[in-house]
A and B are shown apart, each in its own frame.
Chain A
Amino acid sequence: MKRVMKYGYIIAGLLGASVLWGQMLEMSSEWLEAEDVRLMTGSVSGKMELSEGLELRTEWAFNSIDFDYRPDPIDFSQMGGERNEENQAVSLRLRKELGKWRIEGTGTYYRGYRSLSDAWLDEFYGQKYGANVLPGVHYEVIEPRGYGGTVSTRWEYLKSTGYVSLGLGMIQDRVAPSYEIDDLLTSFELVRGDQHLSTLLAHLTFENVVTKRIRVRHAFSLTDTSTRDVRLGWTGDLLIALGDDWFVRTSGSYNEEGTTFISRAISQSVEYSIGGGWSIGVRGRYYEDTGQIETALASSAAPALITRELSATVRWISEGERWQLMLSGGSYRTRYDPIGLGTAEFVHLYADRNWTLVRSAVTYTF
C-alpha cells in the first residue's frame, strides 16, 4: 500500500491521460510470496489512436523485491537482514496497420534490479567484498538500468487465418556484476565480471487457424548476449474450442544456450464459460532446466531447477468486450538440485520454496 501511495501521482497521471485521450486503459498486478521472499509487480498502460491505423501504447510498471537475506551459516563475515529493492520501467509501442501488413516499434527503459537473484547476489558481494581490503578491483554500488528497442512486421498472408511476423531488437543492460578472488599463484586479487551487456534479439512467429476450432502459434527466437553463447528458443501454443463453452490451451517451450543449458516447459489450461461473460479455468504448468552455465570455479550459477504451478482463474468479459477482468490465484513450487561445492555460499538463494501466486488485471476500452 505504501508503494501505491508513493507512486500514486504517476498512476493518477496515467489514468487521467488515458481517460482524456486514450482508447484503452489497463491495470494489472501480480504478487508472489514465499516464507522469506515477496515479489510484486504492477503496471498501468494506455492506448490511443494518433491517426488512422496508427496506434500508440504506453506502459509504466514497477516491481518490488523484498527478501530476508540469510547468508551461509558458516560464513561469519556476513549478516542477515531484510533488503528491499524497487524497479521501474516505461515502454512505448507504436503500431501502424497497412492493409495486410502491420509495422511495430517498441522502446523500453528501466532502472533497478530485475530479479531476486540479481538483488540477492549484490547483497552477498556487497557484504563479502564491500570492505575493499583485497588487492585488485573494489566493490562498487551500482544501480542497474537498461534500455532496448525492437522493430517488427507482421504479414497476413491468409485472410484472418495465416500470419507470419519477424522482429529484431537490441537491449543494453548495466548490471550489478559478480566478483571473484583470482589466484595469481603468489597472491590473490579481486576481479569483477562485466557490467555492460549488449543483447541482440530476433524472432520469427507463425500464427495459423487450422480448423474453425483450432488456432496454433509457433515462435522461434534467437538471443545473443555479449560474453554468452547464443540462445535458441521455440514456443508453441495450441488453442482448441472443444465446444461452445469449453476452451483448452496447451503451450510448450524449449530453449537451448550453448551445449550446456537447456530448459523445457509445458502448460495446460482448461476454461469454461458459465454465461453472462463469466468464465472459470484451471491451469497447470511444469518447467525444468539443466541449471545455469557456470563459467568459474566459484560460481553463483543456479543448479538445475524444476517448478510446478497450479492455479485457478476467474474472468469476466462484458458484452462487446469493453470491460475485461481477471483474478487468478494458485500455488507455485521451486525445487533445485543439490548445490555443488562451488555454489555452497548460495544455499539460501537456491533454496526450495513454496510460493503463493495472485494475479489480477482490469482492462477498459473507451
Chain B
Amino acid sequence: MLRLKRCCCGVILVGLLGLLMVGCTVIPAYEQGHLAKPQMQFSDSSALAYESKLVSGLEPGTDTTGGASASGCTACQ
C-alpha cells in the first residue's frame, strides 16, 4: 500500500516536473527520432494499446466507457 502510494507519487512528480520543463525549449525534428517510434507515442491503434478493455470493465475505478458502468455502481442504488 505504502509502496503503491510512493510509486503513484513518483509518477505524478516526474510527470508534473515534465510539464513544468516544457515551454523552455522545442526539440528540433531531427532530434525526435526516438519519439517518433510507435512505442513512444499515444496511439489509438489497438495493436499499440497497452490497457485491456475487459479488465477495465471489472474494475469500477478504471472503467473507460464512462456513463453508468464507470460511476462506481449501477445497480446498488
Which residues of A pack against B, CB within 8 Å? 26, 28, 30-32, 39-41, 43, 114-118, 121-122, 125, 146, 148, 158-162, 169, 171-173, 175-178, 193-194, 197, 199, 201, 206-218, 223, 225, 227-228, 231, 234, 236-239, 241, 244, 247, 249-255, 257, 261-267, 269, 271, 273, 279, 283, 286-289, 292-296, 299-302, 305, 307, 309, 315, 317, 321, 324-326, 332, 334, 357, 359, 361-363
Contact = CB atoms under 8 A, between A and B. Distances in A.
B77 A227 contact: yes
20 contacts: A28-B49, A32-B58, A114-B68, A116-B58, A118-B75, A161-B27, A193-B76, A208-B22, A209-B32, A217-B42, A236-B15, A238-B14, A241-B35, A251-B50, A261-B60, A266-B4, A287-B59, A300-B73, A317-B38, A332-B52
A241 B34 contact: yes
A299 B72 CA distance: 13
Nearest to A198: B67
Interface of B: 1, 4-5, 7-8, 11-12, 14-16, 18-19, 21-23, 26-27, 29, 31-35, 37-42, 45-55, 57-63, 65-77
Contacts of B7: 252, 266
Contacts of A218: 15-16, 19
Given A228-B71, A292-B73, A266 B8 contact: yes
A190 to B, nearest CB: 15
Given A40-B54, A211-B27, A216-B18, 19 more contacts: A41-B53, A122-B75, A146-B68, A160-B27, A160-B32, A161-B26, A161-B27, A171-B66, A176-B75, A178-B77, A193-B77, A217-B15, A218-B19, A225-B67, A231-B71, A237-B15, A239-B41, A257-B72, A309-B52
